[in-house]
Amino acid sequence: MGAESRCRQDTLALRRQLIGSSCKLFFSEDPLKIVRAKGQYMYDENGREYLDCIGNVAHVGHCHPDVVNAAHEHNQVLNTNSRFLHDNLVDYAKRISDTLPKKLCTFYFLNSGSEANDLALRLARQYTKHEDVIVFDHAYHGHLTSLIDISPYKFKNLDGQKEWVHVAPLPDTYRGMYREDHEDSATAYANDVKKIIDQAHEKGRKIAAFFAESLPSVGGQIIPPVGYFQKAAQHVRKAGGIFVADEIQVGFGRVGKCFWAFQLQGEDFVPDIVTMGKPIGNGHPMSCVATTKEIAEAFAATGVEYFNTFGGNPVSCAIGMKVLDVIEKEHLQAHATEVGNFLMELLNRQKSQHPIIGDIRGVGLFIGVDLIKDQEKRTPATAEAEYLIARLKNECILLSTDGPGRNVLKFKPPMCFNMKDAQFVVEKIDKILTGKTCQTDKGCF
Ligand SMILES: Cc1ncc(COP(=O)(O)O)c(C=O)c1O
In a domain, 14, yes or no: no
Nearest CA to ligand 1 atom 14: 142
Instruction: Reduce the DSSP state of residue 59 to 3 states and report it.
Output: coil
SS3 content of the chain, % helix, strand, coil (to 5): 40, 20, 45
Contact 236, 197 (CB under 8 A): yes
Residue 207's CB is within 10 A of a number of other CB atoms, namely 27
306 vs 286: CA distance, rounded Å: 16
For ligand 1, whether the C-beta of 248 sits within 6 Å is yes
Same domain, 349 and 230: no
**Residue that is last in its domain, among 329, 349, 377:** 329
Range of the domain at 268: 66-329
Determine phi and psi for 436, rounding to 5 degrees. -40, -175
For ligand 1, whether the C-beta of 249 sits within 6 Å is yes
Contact 162, 148 (CB under 8 A): no
182 Cα–ligand 1 center, Å: 32
Q: State the total domains in the chain.
A: 2
Which letter does DSSP use for residue 441 in this model?
T
27 vs 438: CA distance, rounded Å: 19
Nearest CA to ligand 1 atom 8: 113
Determine phi and psi for 178, rounding to 5 degrees. -115, 115
Instruction: Reduce the DSSP state of residue 256 to 3 states and report it.
Output: coil
Give the residue, out of 170, 214, 248, with the most ligand 1 atoms within 8 A of its beta carbon, to mutate for a pocket test: 248
Sort strands 408-411 and 287-291 into parallel, antiparallel or unpaired: unpaired
Contact 261, 247 (CB under 8 A): yes
In a domain, 444, yes or no: no
pLDDT in tens, the chain (445 residues): 455 679 999 999 999 999 999 999 999 999 999 999 999 999 999 999 999 999 999 999 999 999 999 999 999 999 999 999 999 999 999 999 999 999 999 999 999 999 999 999 999 999 999 999 999 999 999 999 999 999 999 998 888 999 999 999 999 999 999 999 999 999 999 999 999 999 999 999 999 999 999 999 999 999 999 999 999 999 999 999 999 999 999 999 999 999 999 999 999 999 999 999 999 999 999 999 999 999 999 999 999 999 999 999 999 999 999 999 999 999 999 999 999 999 999 999 999 999 999 999 999 999 999 999 999 999 999 999 999 999 999 999 999 999 999 999 999 999 999 999 999 999 999 999 998 445 554 444 4
Same domain, 43 and 163: no
For ligand 1, whether the C-beta of 118 sits within 6 Å is no
For ligand 1, whether the C-beta of 216 sits within 6 Å is no
How confident is the model at residue 2, as a pLDDT? 54
226 vs 223: CA distance, rounded Å: 9
Of ligand 1's listed atoms, the one at least distance from the Cα of 112 is 10
For ligand 1, whether the C-beta of 277 sits within 6 Å is yes
How confident is the model at residue 4, as a pLDDT? 60
**Residue that is last in its domain, among 275, 297, 329:** 329
Contact 386, 29 (CB under 8 A): no
Same domain, 204 and 262: yes
324 Cα–ligand 1 center, Å: 20
Same domain, 358 and 214: no
Contact 215, 208 (CB under 8 A): no
Terminal C-alpha separation, the chain: 46
Instruction: Reduce the DSSP state of residue 290 to 3 states and report it.
Output: strand
Sign of CA pseudo-dihedral 421, 422, 423, 426: positive
CATH number of the domain enclosing 405: 3.90.1150.10
Instruction: Reduce the DSSP state of residue 3 to 3 states and report it.
Output: helix
Same domain, 281 and 408: no
Same domain, 107 and 205: yes
Give me the DSSP letters along 378-409: --B-HHHHHHHHHHHHHTTEE-EEETTTT-EE
Q: Bridge-partner residues for 366, per DSSP?
A: 363
